[in-house]
Amino acid sequence: MTDTSRSPLAPPAFPDLPAVGGVELRVARARYKDWNRCDLTFATLAEGTTVAGVLTQSKCPSPEVEWCRKALTLGQARALIVNAGNSNAFTGQRGRAAVEAIAARTAGQLGCQPSNVFVASTGVIGVPLPIDKAEAGLDAAFTAQLCDWRAAAETIGTTDTYPKGATTSAIVDGRRVTLVGIIKGSGMIAPDMATMLGFVFTDAAVEAGFLQAALAAANAPSFSCITVDGDTSTSDTVLAFATGAAGNAPLVDDDSPGADAFRAALADLCHQLAMLVVRDGEGATKLIEIAVTGAESDRSAHRVAMSIANSPLVKTAIAGGDANWGRVVMAVGKAGEPAERDRLAIRFGETQVARGGLAVEEYDEAPVAAHLAGHEVEIGVDLGLGDGRATVWACDLTHGYISINADYRS
């Protein structure tokens, strides 16, 4: 975690997260950067743990993403290693060798196959992960005391201003199963699949195929509906691990007892985690919810909503408390989706400001100004063309974002 001031959108405190059977957490200092904090997280997982994941669609992915993508085809996991301070992306064979060394050393410690070890890294792009530091950090982690979820959440962070974690539960096959997630992310957030680095752990017994289907479904309305700056990372990774420690009959498909409850719980957890990320957008002072209705399709509505959410002009207007609905019109028009000017309607909060291609005559600006002065802002857009709808979440764009990113490598 950085020393940056805590986001004004942060929750009041880190939640009290329960233990998950079959998961043990440890952290250590690999010293990837010159900082006085732990930066390597080591999670061991019970034998028989299944895994699913959603990974970046960037055409320049990190070696860690490529490693996880291949390992996911086997569906089994015994460990997770997360490095903070160095993304190891765009590092050629040296980067790949570092991932292979981490997996091999961890597998040797646990007596498993390297393909059962999942690796994720986050930080500066273009600097090979030092193998000597990684191995020294691993050796320290192997013998470290067990830690709690908060320590693990703090360790995976980079420019995050607060640790992020959430939990939920479900009744599956007559047993209560627990789901816990930790996540990091603050900038370079405009995922096509997931956010920066997120990890979900459950004691439910879930076959890998069903876990993958459930995670992909949960990702669509959560991680894939947030944006901070319109930039998709080379390292975006969300992994879900199911240890089976709860003892339920394994979830195999949607006909399994409790399958619907598990899907709902996973979707809820992913939504909670996604909101924690967008609330910690670099330099953010306002959370923006953008709801688009009346589109020709849900996909079209999503694209329009993201066009609004990623517009620097919209985001700076919200930062300044300016209800400049003309910028929203601009963002709708540039989205490349079906739209008709004279059917367009726009609202801020509950106040309609434009309808039928025109400003609403003599609308009261007082409630709009009051709404924009708060930490949470709603923008509603109705295209008047069909039944398609989508909701996405973003944050405003302030001088803080520039300051953080101008100094990022120093």
Q: Answer yes or no: is 282 a known binding residue.
A: yes
Torsion of CA 275, 26, 147, 281, to 10 degrees: -20
Tell me which amino acid residue 142 is: F
CB 282 within 8 A of CB 369: no
Catalytic residue flag (residue 44): no
Reported in sequence order, the residue ranges of 296-408 that DSSP labels E, i.e. its strands, are 345-348, 351-355, 358-359, 376-382, 388-395
Distance CA 303, CA 54 (A): 20
Beta partners for 42?
26, 81
Tokens of 149: 């979820």
Tokens 């233990």 sit at which residue? 19
Give 284's DSSP letter: -
Task: Identify the active-site residue in 168, 195, 243, 351.
Answer: 195
Known binder of ligand: residue 184?
yes
Instruction: Note the helical H segments in 335-393.
Output: 365-372
- What is the spatial distance between Cα 20 and Cα 149, in angstroms, rounded to a whole number? 10
Is residue 243 within a helix (H) or strand (E), and if so which, with residue range?
none
Residue 284 φ/ψ, nearest 5 degrees: -70, 140
Closest to 191 in 3D by CA, of 392, 408, 335, 399 = 392
In angstroms, the CA 371 to CA 385 distance is 28
Angle (CA) 116 120 126, round 5°? 135
**Tokens 């997770």 belong to residue:** 80
Q: Identify whether the C-beta of residue 186 lies closer than 8 Å to the C-beta of residue 280.
A: yes
Whether the CB-CB separation of 181 and 272 falls below 8 Å is answered with yes
Provide the greatest CA pair distance for the chain: 72
Known binding residues: 158, 184, 195, 282, 405, 410
Residues annotated catalytic, as ranges: 195
Known binding residues for substrate: 158, 184, 195, 282, 405, 410
